[in-house]
């Protein structure tokens, strides 16, 4: 499971320990049923918009260190960005504020998107990445702690590749963990992440941030791969010319 630093844990626990919140969350879990709870996102039912509460706490907590790292990567960049698994929209909003990117977000949890809308983030919608379709391409795709929640991570990366421009860039983060979290379907060992991403993308950077307990990977669409949305013919390898 995710390892919280003391400051982050204190903030999250402070909210979770409020009797009213626990009563409402417990009642919702019972009334809604397992399938509805799954669709809404169990962590959002229990914790609410906890990412925003961590942001407004203005403490040097572990999560905000992660946010700053991601936002700094996109600072000053231009184009169109898709945030896959945007949650309550915090990181997407911060990226938009610190860059010249047009940011769009999707998340499978309607509750997460409702929290995003409450925070005045309207350029996001509730839809799974598997169901998502687009008639435009993106210069950047951000997958922040997303792939461990998907049924087929390899298929998700293939789809992301097709949604990128020819020189488009993907930025993926993975949590460092030994056990599955509340909604995790997979665990990605540190030593296997590079090999896994490299099956789909040409890796540009790979960084294990020990203090933040995160792995950060950036990559681009490999050369000579056809992008069906751009309608370009597949280029041939130099050896076949």
The full set of domains in the chain, from first to last, is 6-56 (no CATH), 62-220 (3.40.50.150)
> Strand pairing of 78-84 and 100-107?
parallel
What gap in Å lies between CA 64 and CA 83, rounded to an integer?
17
Per-residue pLDDT of the chain (241 residues; tens, 9 = 90+): 345 567 666 665 565 555 555 666 666 666 767 777 677 777 887 778 889 988 988 777 889 999 999 999 999 999 999 999 999 999 999 999 999 999 999 999 988 999 999 999 999 999 999 999 999 999 999 999 999 989 999 999 999 999 999 999 999 999 988 776 666 667 888 889 999 999 999 999 999 999 999 999 999 988 745 555 554 333 333 334 3
Backbone angles phi, psi at 143, to 5 degrees: -120, 95
Cβ–Cβ under 8 Å, residues 196 and 167? no
The 10 Å Cβ neighbour count of residue 12 is 19
**Whole-number Å distance between alpha carbons of 230 and 213:** 37
CA 97 centroid distance within chain? 18
Q: Which residues does 100 contact at the CB level (< 8 Å), separation at least 6?
A: 76, 77, 78
Within a 13 Å sphere around the CA of 212, how many CA atoms are in the beta-carbon half?
19
Sign of the CA dihedral 199, 189, 106, 171? negative
Rg (CA), the chain: 19
Per the CB < 8 A criterion, the answer to whether 195 and 203 are in contact is no
Angle at 111 between CA 107 and CA 113, to 5 degrees: 45
Per DSSP, the chain holds a count of helices (H) and strands (E) of 10, 7
């Amino acid at each position: 499971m995710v390892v919280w630093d003391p400051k982050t844990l204190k903030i999250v626990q402070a909210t979770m320990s409020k009797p009213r919140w626990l009563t409402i969350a417990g009642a919702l879990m019972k009334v809604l049923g397992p399938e509805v709870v799954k669709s809404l996102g169990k962590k959002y039912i229990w914790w609410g918009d906890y990412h925003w509460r961590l942001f407004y706490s203005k403490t040097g907590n572990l999560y905000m260190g992660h946010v700053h790292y991601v936002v700094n990567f996109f600072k000053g960049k231009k184009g169109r960005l898709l945030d896959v698994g945007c949650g309550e929209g915090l990181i997407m909003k911060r990226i938009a504020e610190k860059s010249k990117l047009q940011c769009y977000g999707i998340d499978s949890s309607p509750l997460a998107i409702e929290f995003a809308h409450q925070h005045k983030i309207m350029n996001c919608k509730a839809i799974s990445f598997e169901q998502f379709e687009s008639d435009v391409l993106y210069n950047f795709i951000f997958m922040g702690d997303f792939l461990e929640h998907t049924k087929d991570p390899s298929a998700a990366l293939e789809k992301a590749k097709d949604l990128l421009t020819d020189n488009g860039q993907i930025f993926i983060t993975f949590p460092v963990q030994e056990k599955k979290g509340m909604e995790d379907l997979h665990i990605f060992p540190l030593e296997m992440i590079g090999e896994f991403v490299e099956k789909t993308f040409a890796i540009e950077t790979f960084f294990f941030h020990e203090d933040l307990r995160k792995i950060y990977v950036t990559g681009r669409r490999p050369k000579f791969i056809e992008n069906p949305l751009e309608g370009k013919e597949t280029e041939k390898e130099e050896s076949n010319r």
